[in-house]
Amino acid sequence: MKLTGVELRRISIPLVAPFRTSFGVETTRDILLLRAVLDGQAEGWGECVAMSDPLYSSEYVDASVDVLRRFMLPKLFSLDHVDGAVVGPALEPFKGHWMSKAVIETAVLDAELRATGRSFARELGATKDRVPCGVSVGIHNSVGALLESVEGYVSAGYVRIKLKIEPGWDLEPVRAVRERFGDDLLIQVDANTAYTLQDARHLARLDEFGLLLMEQPLPEEDVLGHAELARLVKTPICLDESITSARTAAAAISLGACSIINIKPGRVGGYLEARRIHDVCLAHGIAVWCGGMLETGLGRAANIALAALPGFTLPGDTSASDRYYKTDITEPFVLSADGHLDVPAGPGLGVTPLPGPLAAVTTWTEWVPA
């Protein structure tokens, strides 16, 4: 099939509550969606997880629009045949811009699979038809407000709680959540690179809380620092921002920098590279889980499909739609009473945007012909 055109669509969708991490606060998601058309008829969707500002990573939405329009789409338009497996190698000459590569690969894969009646989950190699779900809880203004939020998520059925931390907001909130909800609740923390190796002694104080893992405490380039930290703390170290490919995952594993990896498809260039990271980790006995970037139902559907692969043994950030959005742009994903979400089984992603909700949040569109 040939890529005959692409629609770039920007949407602005408010969060149900502000989401604060060590690098900032989000109240509204500025999201780039991409609709790819193959052979003038088959179409598929992708969601770019870049943020408005280059805070989580060097990527941001305006840059994604630019690099897609000026470099990536012309390259793909020039090819006589495009399918999901072709996108990554074709775009390899362009350095970085993983999230931009991921969104076009996802849309092409979705179109290809819809045209042939195959599901995203089956194509990736999923072995489960439902996945356990955790939830990411941002930094709050007070411990009391945090406990109230966690109470709501536990009551809703989430099987794992992830607490965002930063210097000055770590020991006290984690202790409070552990004491309130007991030793049986799965709790992990995520620092989003907020600490340095000099904080090792302080981070070791988190060991007493029996955490599932400590996610990305040090800067993304400091893989050796993570290896040293792993020798100084008992809590398992999980890498997120440091992992950009199967190659970097293999290197981190060989250095002893982590015993768990958070796989975010947008951060690694797409779901096919995410599957390769999964395979590397599975071969080395490294646990993996699927991270989230506050996706709409489009990105959530793809993440749930990925999380159904056999190596995903820990609950991911594949929360229900109402965790972030009052109204999603697809049919909402609803958490079951036992804290699971069903894996979409229809062709492609198994979901499509609803015209009304999509139009209501659209701020800009551009059709880019081949």
Whole-number Å distance between alpha carbons of 304 and 320: 11
The gap from C-alpha 356 to its chain's centroid, in whole angstroms, comes to: 26
Active site residue 101: no
- φ/ψ (deg, to 5) at 297: -60, -25
Strand (E) or helix (H) holding 271: helix 271-284
Q: Which of 95, 164, 234, 326 is catalytic?
A: 164
Q: Are 158 and 135 in contact (CB under 8 A)?
A: yes
Q: Which of 95, 101, 264, 326 is catalytic?
A: 264
Active site residue 264: yes
Q: Which amino acid is at 14?
A: P
The gap from C-alpha 202 to its chain's centroid, in whole angstroms, comes to: 28
3-state helix, strand, coil in the chain (%, to 5): 40, 25, 35
Whole-number Å distance between alpha carbons of 241 and 293: 12
- φ/ψ (deg, to 5) at 205: -70, -15
Active-site positions read 164, 264
